[in-house]
Structure 1
Amino acid sequence: MTSPPYRPDRAARPAATESQASAPAELFPPQVRESFPALVQARELYLDSAATTQKPRAVIDAVRNYHESATANAARGTYPWATALTQRIAAVRARTARFVGAAYPEEIVFTAGATAALNAVALSWGLTALRDGDEILYSPADHATNVLPWYLLRDTLARFGRRIELVPYRTTPSGHADSADIADKLGPRTRLLTVTHLHHVFGGLTTLADIRDRIPGRVLVCYDCSQSGGHLPVDVTALGADFAVFAAHKMFGAPGTGILYCRRRVHSELRPFLPGGGTDAQLTAGGFGTGQMPGLLEGGTPNIPGILALGAAIEVLDSYGMPAIAAHNRVLTRRLLAGLRGVPGVDFLPGPAHAGDTGHGIVSFTLDGISAADLGFVLAEYGFLVRTGTHCVPETAGDAESVRVSTHIYTGLDDIDRFTDRVRALAEEFA
């Protein structure tokens, strides 16, 4: 058995605290890291899996093999190379549907990413379904991907004389959507409620389970699962989602690929998103007629290597088991919180530090005496790669910068301990 790759800051550390010593052992061994080539080669410690995950060898091979062997277009020819690819993409679609809990493969649309998927909801549904005076409930604290498309939709509709309202709701200190505030703001003109399943900065999990029976059937529910997909089990049917989006690059897949889940009940309300070659819509003298999903929203040549890489990524995730991955991240989050709580000057953003749960692999904080950007720079000098800034939250730009630490199965307890030791040493230096 080979030894794990080099990790930074291996100097002798103080004895573990009582909370650290009693923490459960990590659920995945360090050898898991050897399946991720970039980590084997790196001397740094990667703690930014909420921004993008490292890629396992199987995903890298899927992209390379497409370009090296029998490269063709899918659904465009009857020769074996093309038909084989068409069948493989259909198989990936079916597997993706099972992975996210969709009832039917045709509820899965492949997009250019989560951003493209949410914009598809705005353009393929919102442009024609919303009427003057309708409302969308959203959180200003969410990622720009789940904020700006609704602002653009409002602006676009206003240019054609239709005015919709964007109604903001609050986030709790625990880092999830305030369901009581949402329930209070649901009104007779509410048509869409959009929420983040796992918040990308706070790490709070929102399921709306406590108010599900208070959401009228006419209100569609859209989940941004960019952060939860590949990090914890997701079941869009159990969530009661009408739309849900995923980013492949955050679930071991390749950048430029996304998943849009469209519940069957909304299919009749959808219009083509990117009409072009392959778009399954009836073109009549009066314009576009009805079409079949998912082809209605999949015009043009698909990102074939990205879709094949997504299929490989899901196979890898299934091999580890999503419940086990989620449990691993919970163990790491507890260890991280225990270590940072003992550091003078650390202040936590909303999230697991303010909640009774154990978190889901995301912790954001600030440190007295140094800006988040400078702290991130210094940490990088010691080999710790973390995210800093406002983390793509548009309405707090320049006002809520923080350091975010995020983990995955290739992160170990030893990594967390070395990180918190370094933050403690820097805090003493700045003090």
Structure 2
Amino acid sequence: MLGSRRNFPALTAEPDLVYLDSASGTPCPEPVIAQLTAELRGPAGNPGRGGHPWARGALRRFEDARAAVAAFLGASFPDEVAFTRGATGAMAFLADRWGPAALEDGGDILYCPGDHLSTVRPWLRLAERLRHQGVRAVAYRRDRLGRIDPDDFARALSDRTKVVVATDVHNLHGTRTDLDALAIPPGATVCLDCSQSAGRMPLRLAGSRAELAVVSGHKMFGPPGTGTVYVRRGQHRRIAVDRAAARSGPARHVSPLTDAAEEGSLDGAGAAALASAAAFIDRIGVDLVGGHLTQLAARFAEGAARVGGVTLLGPPVGESRSHSGIAAFTVDGQAGADVAFTLERRGIYVRAGDHCLEGRRDDVVRASFHLYNDETDVDRLLQGLAAAAERD
């Protein structure tokens, strides 16, 4: 198996469990747990808050973690990455501390109402706050399979477009956005939510159209509550830094981004553990992870087509070279919660009900595979769906 479930204590503790809710959160593998434990057992210095060896060592390990995560994300420089309280905190930071300067002369924020609420809401709040300055939030749409409608996107564009907020991989449909296929004006800044792509697909942020990005640590085998924000160096000048709260002194200053995003005491243990998660994925190879997910998604799509009443909500698996491993579906005549309950009784955990989107889809169920899943897990899911469909 690509990534043996033996690496994951939470899964080995329940050998009959089929865990298919990785898009919500992934269990931590043994190396990440070991790294986190080592940090908590080791010298308890506060990074950057003292001149003694414990504090200096903690700061050095924190900056080593930053460099490792920045390399994993494909950033050009370590100081383009800061550690945050998850992707939700990272997106709120960008809207609150980068957005006002970027929109001081007015302009449009393009967003998709069908994206994750934590991606959309911070920018809607900013647009409302800056409405008196001529800032507007302009919506673009996705089609029924979760793909951005290029014609509607082009309609939303204008010479007022200053910020384009986009999702790399949609959290329900599993669709990946091709930024290069969208007619984004050269002067617009792209903010990309990479919560569902990090750890599943390669991220090469330095060479992408996105100058801002957010990542969720707990969806890529890191500890809960960890995440990162990426801001390309050319955008650092727009970040509002609270000098009273920022870390001071030449030994502590890294960049305007880190000064603003990492106020207060630093989570050295969380940063080190997230760097360990990135190293864990790198040892396997993120390209291999993507290929594995594509194979599982193809097997599921083929099997689901033979189960009466099951409708997939994402694009065909073969439409892109790699698949996210996220598959949403409905079962005719069944509430999503009822389908999820049928699967749960068979030891299969999926997501139903609230998908963190505007408007509930009570009929939708989401299964999300990762590297610890195999073909047997897919087959058990299909068997469970056949049983759910028979209940109609």
Q: Does 1:378 align with 2:350?
A: no
Q: Map 1:210-229; keep pairs closer than 5 Å.
A: 210-211=181-182, 214-229=183-198
Worse-superposed segment, 227-236 or 399-408? 399-408
Structure 1 match to 2:179 = 208
Match among 207, 213, 226 for residue 238 of structure 1: 207
Structure 1 residues 56 and 266: CA distance shift in structure 2, 3 A: same
Q: Does 1:423 align with 2:392?
A: no
Query: Aligned-residue CA RMSD in angstroms?
Result: 2.1
Match among 117, 141, 156 for residue 185 of structure 1: 156
Deviation at 1:179, TM superposition (A): 3.3
Amino acid in structure 1 at the alignment position of 2:203: V
Mark the runs of 5 or more structure 1 residues left unpaired by the alignment. Answer: 1-26, 282-290
Cα-to-partner distance string for 1:268-306 (whole Å, 9 max, x where unaligned)? 11112796251689xxxxxxxxx7342233211122211
Corresponding residue SS for 1:223 = strand
Match among 301, 321, 324 for residue 360 of structure 1: 324
Q: Does 1:28 align with 2:38?
A: no
Deviation at 1:154, TM superposition (A): 2.0
Partners of 2:117 and 2:83 lie apart in 1 by: 21
2:291–2:322: 8 Å Cα contact kept in structure 1? no
Partners of 2:83 and 2:154 lie apart in 1 by: 32
1:226–1:245: 8 Å Cα contact kept in structure 2? yes
Amino acid in structure 2 at the alignment position of 1:201: L
TM-score (normalizing by structure 1) = 0.85
Partners of 1:274 and 1:426 lie apart in 2 by: 57
Structure 1 match to 2:217 = 248
Structure label with greater radius of gyration: 1
Structure 1 match to 2:95 = 122
Worse-superposed segment, 126-135 or 68-77? 126-135
Cα-to-partner distance string for 1:322-366 (whole Å, 9 max, x where unaligned)? 000110100000011111111111122233369466632011011
Aligned residues: 387
Amino acid in structure 2 at the alignment position of 1:402: V
1:352–1:358: 8 Å Cα contact kept in structure 2? no
Partners of 2:19 and 2:50 lie apart in 1 by: 43
Partners of 2:32 and 2:368 lie apart in 1 by: 21
Flag as ranges the 4+ runs of structure 1 deviating above 4 A. 353-358
Structure 1 match to 2:85 = 112
Structure 2 match to 1:23 = none
Structure 1 residues 418 and 238: CA distance shift in structure 2, 3 A: same
Partners of 2:244 and 2:346 lie apart in 1 by: 49
Deviation at 1:133, TM superposition (A): 4.5
TM-score (normalizing by structure 2) = 0.93
Structure 1 match to 2:237 = 268
Partners of 1:163 and 1:139 lie apart in 2 by: 20
1:202–1:352: 8 Å Cα contact kept in structure 2? no
Deviation at 1:174, TM superposition (A): 4.2
Structure 1 residues 91 and 364: CA distance shift in structure 2, 3 A: same
Match among 109, 116, 119 for residue 143 of structure 1: 116
1:332–1:412: 8 Å Cα contact kept in structure 2? yes
Amino acid in structure 2 at the alignment position of 1:237: A
Corresponding residue SS for 1:242 = strand
Structure 2 match to 1:169 = 140
1:173–1:355: 8 Å Cα contact kept in structure 2? no
Q: Does 1:351 align with 2:325?
A: no
Mark the runs of 5 or more structure 2 residues left unpaired by the alignment. Answer: none
Partners of 2:242 and 2:305 lie apart in 1 by: 47
Corresponding residue SS for 2:210 = coil
Match among 286, 302, 306 for residue 322 of structure 1: 286
Q: Does 1:389 align with 2:361?
A: no
Q: Does 1:278 align with 2:247?
A: yes
Identity of aligned residues (%): 36
